[in-house]
Amino acid sequence: MISADWIAVDWGTSSLRAWAVGKDGIVAEASSSDGMSTLDRDGFEPVLLSLVGDWLGDAVTPVIACGMVGARQGWAEAPYVPVPCPPMVADGCITVAAGDPRIDVRIIPGLSQDAPADVMRGEETQIAGFLASEPGFSWTICLPGTHTKWVQVGAGRITRFQTMMTGELFALLFRHSVLRHSVGGAAWDDDAFIAAVRDGNANPDRLAGELFALRAEDLLHGLAPASARARLSGLLIGAELAAASFDGGDVAVIGAASLGQHYATGLSVIGRKARIIDGAGITLAGLTQAWHALEGTFA
Amino acid sequence: MISADWIAVDWGTSSLRAWAVGKDGIVAEASSSDGMSTLDRDGFEPVLLSLVGDWLGDAVTPVIACGMVGARQGWAEAPYVPVPCPPMVADGCITVAAGDPRIDVRIIPGLSQDAPADVMRGEETQIAGFLASEPGFSWTICLPGTHTKWVQVGAGRITRFQTMMTGELFALLFRHSVLRHSVGGAAWDDDAFIAAVRDGNANPDRLAGELFALRAEDLLHGLAPASARARLSGLLIGAELAAASFDGGDVAVIGAASLGQHYATGLSVIGRKARIIDGAGITLAGLTQAWHALEGTFA
């Protein structure tokens, strides 16, 4: 018998994760692949109830969600809050009109930047979770992923940010382009990655040509797939590091183990120190920040 | 009743085009979508015969083909000829072991460059066709496409070349990335294209960030799809123009009408003169150069 004070939900484009949180922390958790992109507006509540129904009692259970669930194509739109602002803006949370009286659902807003135009949804909650444990952190946070975010933080606020499509470019080139014939497999060549980061960083303008050279190197000189794959990643990350705005100081890299490690390696290649923050607990820590801010607003 | 002296074939990755050529020029032509990528090694001859069978008589008919038909995954591999060399190297043409005694098939070799590693297959024949009508042409030829080629030519020879994946990047981003939600439709905004060429050319390193900005501009400011599509193209072409090696002089742009026009516009934005060469007759002109060189070798 689960007894949850509230339920935390991380609902992204391709998956969904929920935690039942009690007085002493997590009492249950569950996940599914019913991401935002697979659902119509009416599909969100049934999916949530099928996942967390067993955690609900007679009283109303607060639910706090972050991520693409709050996008225009999500369950309900939580309008972007413009930066500069703190990563967690309680006033910007919206209440969802759920049909089931056992839940009271709130969605955390994403953040926007007017010029250069940019948006994030979900990462703001990770940043709030990170800053909860390191309130004095300044400078740059990097959140690698499909759309990598580079975020400038100071005095507990996000001042500006920048999204790079590096991860999506890698996936498209790896799976769908002519390079797929040359980069197959999961093997990895560290030296090729490091050399490519250096090349991509020194000459980011040559990217479109360097990419085809991977295919030509394979055809003419038998480039190994592990080297081609690492070089593809390194060229893209190197070019990204040339474009990313850094303030001074170390970079905190928040993210999945191997991708976070590649970014940290890339940063060291260009002479920057990075520390890797495990992303696993960070989102729940951010949702918990929202709970503290919103607790009094639940009936 | 067709009577062909020889048959010219342009056999690319995704399609196939054949001409029956008599004393006074083209007497028939045919095409199909049986490109190299759709065929096994044994599939090429039946496809060719189904397309040109009606043009064959009792005597052996010479067939000269160019393009990906000569790739490792093609009908038979015509090994690359290294540059510098003339675009048409008759000694490099290979004879295919066809089963049907009515045809004698030759394939024109592609060209390679050792360092930076690069390859072309098919474009060398277009260049040969172009140089046939302008033997004195020097400087730069641009052949826009999925894999755009920038080719340096002098004294009838190709000295070096460079392949850019711009066209494939555009197609992947347009069809498969998150940008597909923002760039839909076939409309075109010339001013947005010109501004984007300028931006992409001035700051090619910012590409990964500028790309996501198209999505954010749509979400935040309602960027029109015509502008987003033109800007996507302009950013990629602008960055390509920053990376392409130019010798002095005008650029000859060989290619399909609208894409060729975009490249010519882009070149004018960065202060270079371009003239557009209609690509339609160029390939056959190049195959005719090969016919002149090989005619004596057919039994």
Residue A239 has its nearest CB partner, among B208, B217, B219, at B208
CB B209 within 8 Å of CB A162: yes
Q: Which of A182-196, A240-254, B9-23, B105-119 has the lowest mean pLDDT?
A: A240-254
Q: Hey, are the CB atoms on B163 and A212 less than 8 Å from each other?
A: yes
pLDDT band at residue A120 using 50, 70 and 90 as cut-offs:
very high
Asked whether the predicted pLDDT for residue A7 surpasses 80, the reply is yes
CA distance A164 to A146: 8
Report the share of chain A in percent with pLDDT over 90.
87
Q: Which of B255, B242, B243 is nearest to B281 (CA)?
A: B255
How close A162 gets to chain B, by Cα (Å)? 7
Q: Does any CB of chain B come closer than 8 Å to the CB of residue A39?
A: no
The pLDDT value recorded for residue A249 is 75
Under 8 Å CB pairs connecting chains A and B tally to: 130
B85: which DSSP letter? B
Q: Hey, are the CB atoms on B163 and A206 less than 8 Å from each other?
A: no
How close A58 gets to chain B, by Cα (Å)? 40
The pLDDT value recorded for residue A278 is 85
Q: Give chain A's mean pLDDT.
A: 94
The pLDDT value recorded for residue A142 is 96
Contacts of B48 (CB under 8 A, 6+ apart): B9, B16, B18, B63, B103, B105
Q: Give chain B's mean pLDDT.
A: 94
**pLDDT per residue over A79-108, tens digit each?**
999 999 999 999 999 999 999 999 999 999
Q: Hey, are the CB atoms on B220 and A114 less than 8 Å from each other?
A: yes
Q: What's the complex ipTM?
A: 0.91
Asked whether the predicted pLDDT for residue B1 surpasses 80, the reply is no
Compute the residue count for chain A: 299
The pLDDT value recorded for residue A10 is 97
Q: Which two tokens stand for residue B268?
A: 């004018």
The pLDDT value recorded for residue A183 is 94
Q: Does any CB of chain B come closer than 8 Å to the CB of residue A219?
A: yes
**pLDDT per residue over B92-109, tens digit each?**
999 999 999 999 999 999
Q: Which helix (H) or strand (E) holds B213?
A: helix B207-221
B298: which DSSP letter? -
Contacts of A258 (CB under 8 A, 6+ apart): none
Q: What 3 state SS string does chain A have?
A: CCCCCEEEEEECCCCEEEEEEECCEEEEEEEECCCHHHCCHHHHHHHHHHHHHHHCCCCCEEEEEECHHHCCCCCCCCCCEECCECCCCHHHCEECCCCCCCEEEEECCCEEECCCCEEECCHHHHHHHHHHHCCCCCEEEEECCCCEEEEEEECCEEEEEEEECHHHHHHHHHHHCHHHHCCCCCCCCHHHHHHHHHHHHHCHHHHHHHHHHHHHHHHHHCCCHHHHHHHHHHHHHHHHHHHCCCCCCCEEEEECHHHHHHHHHHHHHCCCCEEEEECCCHHHHHHHHHHHHHHHHCC
The pLDDT value recorded for residue A238 is 96
Q: Hey, are the CB atoms on A213 and B165 less than 8 Å from each other?
A: no
Query: Taking the C-alpha atoms of A31, A124, A164 and B202 in order, what is their torsion angle to the nearest 10 degrees?
Result: 170
CA distance A237 to A230: 10
Q: What are the distances in angstroms from CA B136 to CA A100, A106, B133, B140, B287?
A: 80, 72, 9, 13, 19
